[in-house]
């Protein structure tokens, strides 16, 4: 998946879905995402329908996330562009984007720009911000993260987008002395103003680490 070779990724995840004892639910979601990203939208929809049936670990955040994400595509065949976006989303959440090559990051950026579904606009901007951050385009990244923070529609469809974008924006602003105070404010906002979203504990750990490193540089 990290190489955007969705056919090979589909084959691997399908095998894991059928053979793994860890989380067939999650692997089913990844299988469907990659299948849809190859253009097999009808086949992907069938696998998205399997995700709910394989949901066994009710307190597992990854499986909860997979079920919520798959639910939309159980009802209608997922467009290829949204499946590609979902694949990039997984790479972002698992902090794999920094390991992607420059050409693949550029392909991801193009793929995000091709998505025009208003229901995922906040997610699109979050991912574009993360991609441009990896590309070293800090100014563009800041603008995309700002757009993601402002998108209210994501509160309905992708609740985690705003706090994660707020965190990402805060971290970028910490890099410049003149914006450190604003960056710290955004980190605290990400920590205190949002709750009940996917992978909340994971983000709180990252926020804590960022604030701790800031205190080392600028003793309070």
| pLDDT tens, residue order, the chain (220 aa) | 899 999 999 999 999 999 988 899 999 999 999 999 999 999 999 999 999 999 987 778 999 999 999 998 888 888 999 999 999 999 999 999 999 999 999 999 999 999 999 899 999 999 999 999 999 999 999 999 999 999 877 677 788 999 999 999 999 999 888 999 999 999 999 999 999 898 999 999 999 999 988 765 554 4
Is 133 found in the same domain as 88? no
CA angle 151, 146, 139 (to 5 degrees): 150
Residue that is last in its domain, among 98, 133, 166: 98
Max Cα distance, the chain (Å): 56
Domain match, 81 and 30 both: yes
Reported pTM: 0.93
**128, 202: one domain:** yes
Residue 108 lies in a domain: no
Cβ atoms < 10 Å from Cβ of 1: 21
Tell me: do 4 and 69 sit in the same domain: yes
Domain that holds residue 31: 1-98
DSSP code, position 218: S
- Total domain count for the chain? 2
The two tokens of residue 151 are 């998108």
Under a CB-based contact definition with an 8 Å cutoff, are residues 165 and 181 in contact? no
Q: Which residue has the tokens 């990039």?
A: 88
Quote the CA–CA distance of 101 and 180 in Å, as a whole number. 30
């Amino acid at each position: 998946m990290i190489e955007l070779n969705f056919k090979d990724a589909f084959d691997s995840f399908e095998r894991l879905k059928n053979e793994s004892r860890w989380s067939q639910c999650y692997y089913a979601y990844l299988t469907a995402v990659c299948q849809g990203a190859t253009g097999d939208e009808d086949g992907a929809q069938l696998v998205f329908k399997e995700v709910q049936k394989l949901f066994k670990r009710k307190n597992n955040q990854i499986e909860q996330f997979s079920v919520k994400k798959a639910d939309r595509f159980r009802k209608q065949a997922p467009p290829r562009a949204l499946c590609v976006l979902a694949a990039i989303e997984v790479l972002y959440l698992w902090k794999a984007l920094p390991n992607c090559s420059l050409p693949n990051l550029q392909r991801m950026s193009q793929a995000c720009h091709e998505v025009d579904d208003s229901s995922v606009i906040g997610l699109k901007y979050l991912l574009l911000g993360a991609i441009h951050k990896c590309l070293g385009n800090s100014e563009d990244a800041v603008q995309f993260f700002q757009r993601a923070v402002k998108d209210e529609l994501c509160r309905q469809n992708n609740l985690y987008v705003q706090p994660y974008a707020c965190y990402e924006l805060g971290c970028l602003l910490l890099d410049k002395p003149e914006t450190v105070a604003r960056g710290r404010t955004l980190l605290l906002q990400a920590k205190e103003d949002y709750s009940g979203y996917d992978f909340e504990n994971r983000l709180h750990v990252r926020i804590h680490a960022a604030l701790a490193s800031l205190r080392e540089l600028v003793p309070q």
